[in-house]
Structure 1
Amino acid sequence: MIETSTPTMLDQTEPARCTVCCCTLAHKVLMVLFMVLLILAILFGNLVTLAVVLGTKHFHTPQGYLKASLAVADLAVGIFVVPLSVYAEVYLMVTDSAPEWTSYNSQSVSFHPCNVIGPIFAGCTLVSITTISLLTIERSIAVLRPLHKDSVITRKRTTILIVLSWVGSFFLAVSPMVFSSEIALEYNSCSRMCNYALGTIGEFPSQAWKILLLFPVFDFTLLGGTVVINIISLSSIRQHSRRRKHLAGRECQSTTKPAFSDIKAARTIGTLTVAFTASFTPIAVFVVGNVLGNKWCNFSFFAFWILAANSCWNVIIYSVRDQKFRLCAHKLLMPSQRKNTTKG
């Protein structure tokens, strides 16, 4: 996504930089195996999520639309971002030399694969953050204002917000190259991914680091607000649970309280927020440290791949926290058992 690495053009004969995961042949094989398994996990998990959400009428709701948008963003990481890294690393192992395009940044050639893959990774990460924020807001309204939920949260408004989140996220992803001639994209030998870097200049200009710091500032502002909203919603749920024990026999209290399904959904979104925040934090720490002059090559590898691995966690969280999703996924994956149950 973002890395302020060495600005000069790489020497074509220079070997890939050694990291803790990529020094020996065994480490390289394990790294490629991890990448391939990650691709399979991302594709499987998010395709299941899309099949359940789009194929089940129960999930044709604003919340379901947002989950589908999140799954598409994660799916793009598995289809475009990780496979390019697999190709580069397998090519390096087989030929003992890196692909030629990894020796240059995007300012040095007419077309560079990272011109496409870099913004996709950054854009999908931003889409994930904004979608989780929208999910949190949607659930907070359902919990805090249950009587206004259906009038405030509509499919049309949700669809518009999803489109705006994608357009805004990808505009922000390409903005470093659009608004600064000092920033390019390159395949970084530390992170094993396409990252933002300096172009052909030798010093780190203030304008460039201000643009690069825009990403963590925007992301953590959004994530911070999302965490606060989650805390408010979960605190309200806790208070509601306490009141429900004391007022269990009063029917008049039930009309202004959130439904049990809304409460469970809010807790699920809270878990999603915690998981994504934990995955994104190393990247933000690395970008800030890198701008201040720290290289942190090994940390770079783990930070970027922890974030990429988050793309396969959502379906696990849904399966653990959402019983209806779990049942629908089970029926989808085990059609023979569903037929046997129906016959019985």
Structure 2
Amino acid sequence: MVSLAFAIVVGNVVTLTVFMQTRQVRTPQGYLKVSLAIADMMVGVLVVPFSVYTEISLMVTSSSPVWYQGGTDPSMGGLVGPWQPCMLIGPVFAGCTFVSISTIFLMTVERCVAILWPLHKDHLVTRRRTLFLILFSWAGSYLLALAPLILSNNFTLEYSECSRMCNYVPLWDGVTLPSDANILLLFPVFDFTLLGGTLVFNILSFTSIRRYTRKRKLMSEGNVGVEGGGGGCQHRPSFSDIKAAKTISILTFAFTASFTPIAVCVGNVVGFTWCNFSFVAFWILTGNSCCNVIIYSVRDQRFRKGVTLLFQREHSPTHGEKGGATPPTHLVTTTPPP
């Protein structure tokens, strides 16, 4: 858990630093990547360290923390005391998960517009609209994360001995579940709806890319005119747009693969408990928070260049002090002969 928290925080700090120091942050796609990195970093700063602290407390002390009930005493309602840390940590984890999938959905829509209408993307996808959608996704995601507490009095949050995280649990007496226990099904319905929409937009984008690639191949073989073929040449998407669309599709696949096991855990809503599977499912989803920086490093050449410049910048002052008398090469000029 400590290693995962370190990887999540460091990876997303590097991502934020690179984007903040390059022009990518001043584009709609850059804003969306920053939003995704902030959501992932919150998981590493709040969610995982809380689990680390709780697990260490259980190992080094004879008594359990006051918030640790683990579902062993349903009659207690899962929680005791006036306020519990899980009331904060649980919604933060759920909200960050929803922010991640909604941001990936917005990134897919933005790339689809850039691929299908490259001449109009600057008018359709503006920085102001993107910022508004980002704020809306954060507000909507956290309202959804709090929905079980807002819409019902039959739910609480507790630290689970199975998942090692703060989870929603229905308050029941061990015999009958509350009538509104299915409220928790809102979570997988929301995620899979956005993932389905993301899949549709990816199909539209890659269909257009394939059509453009085929036309370019025919043009190179001389089967159509250089400026002919229906006039599609001047409306072709840029190479960077195509590569960004492929990168976002990989982000979508990684998130889908990490979220799908959580959807199976909705069996807990109707009273089933799969302890080992629940642990694996929740921590696979948590581990996805450090995957984005790996995907950027592999797929995005500008991101790799930004990371290289970032680390070179950290070492440059020492080298400059060592050879301070030598002027930079680009400032050295030669005087032409008279």
Gaps of 5+ in 2: 70-75, 320-327, 331-338
Deviation for aligned residue 1:148: 1.3
Query: Residue type of the partner of 2:120?
Result: H
Deviation for aligned residue 1:108: 3.2
Structure 2 counterpart of 1:250: 226
Residue 310 in 1 paired to residue 288 in 2? yes
Structure 1 counterpart of 2:35: 69
Change (3 A) 1:105 1:316: farther
TM-score by length of 1: 0.85
**Structure 2 SS opposite 1:101:** coil
Q: Is the 8 A contact 1:127 1:165 kept in 2?
A: yes
Structure 2 counterpart of 1:55: 21
Structure 2 counterpart of 1:160: 132
Bigger mean CA offset, 226-235 vs 270-279: 226-235
Structure 2 counterpart of 1:208: 181
Residue 323 in 1 paired to residue 298 in 2? no
Change (3 A) 1:117 1:239: same
Deviation digits for residues 86-128 of structure 1 (CA, Å, limit 9, x no counterpart): 0011111112442122137665321000000000000000000
How many angstroms apart in 2 are the aligned matches of 1:296 and 1:171? 28
Deviation for aligned residue 1:206: 3.0
Q: Is the 8 A contact 2:169 2:269 kept in 1?
A: no
Query: Residue type of the partner of 1:320?
Result: V
Q: Is the 8 A contact 2:163 2:275 kept in 1?
A: yes
Structure 1 counterpart of 2:323: none
Structure 2 counterpart of 1:332: 310
Structure 1 counterpart of 2:194: 222
Deviation for aligned residue 1:233: 1.0
Query: Residue type of the partner of 2:191?
Result: D
How many angstroms apart in 1 are the aligned matches of 2:151 and 2:306? 46
Q: Is the 8 A contact 2:170 2:178 kept in 1?
A: no
Deviation for aligned residue 1:286: 1.3
Q: Is the 8 A contact 1:74 1:124 kept in 2?
A: yes
Instruction: Name the count of aligned residue pairs.
Output: 308
Deviation for aligned residue 1:159: 0.2
Query: Residue type of the partner of 1:83?
Result: P
How many angstroms apart in 2 are the aligned matches of 1:308 and 1:214? 20
Q: Is the 8 A contact 1:247 1:253 kept in 2?
A: no
Q: Which has the higher contact order (CA 8 A, sep 6+)?
A: 1
Deviation for aligned residue 1:343: 5.5
How many angstroms apart in 1 are the aligned matches of 2:119 and 2:40? 33
Q: Is the 8 A contact 1:106 1:115 kept in 2?
A: no
**Structure 1 SS opposite 2:68:** helix
Gaps of 5+ in 1: 1-34
Residue 265 in 1 paired to residue 261 in 2? no
Deviation for aligned residue 1:217: 0.8
Query: Residue type of the partner of 1:116?
Result: L
Bigger mean CA offset, 128-137 vs 216-225: 216-225
Q: Quick one: which of 118, 133, 143 aligns to 1:146?
A: 118
**Structure 2 SS opposite 1:273:** helix
Q: Quick one: which of 95, 102, 113 aligns to 2:68?
A: 102
How many angstroms apart in 1 are the aligned matches of 2:250 and 2:210? 16
- How much is the aligned-residue C-alpha RMSD, in angstroms? 2.0
How many angstroms apart in 2 are the aligned matches of 1:232 and 1:206? 41
Q: Which structure 2 residues correspond to residues 5-24 of structure 1 after superposition, within 5 A?
A: none
Deviation for aligned residue 1:329: 1.2
Residue 125 in 1 paired to residue 97 in 2? yes
How many angstroms apart in 1 are the aligned matches of 2:315 and 2:242? 31
Change (3 A) 1:293 1:199: closer
Residue 39 in 1 paired to residue 17 in 2? no
Identity of aligned residues (%): 58
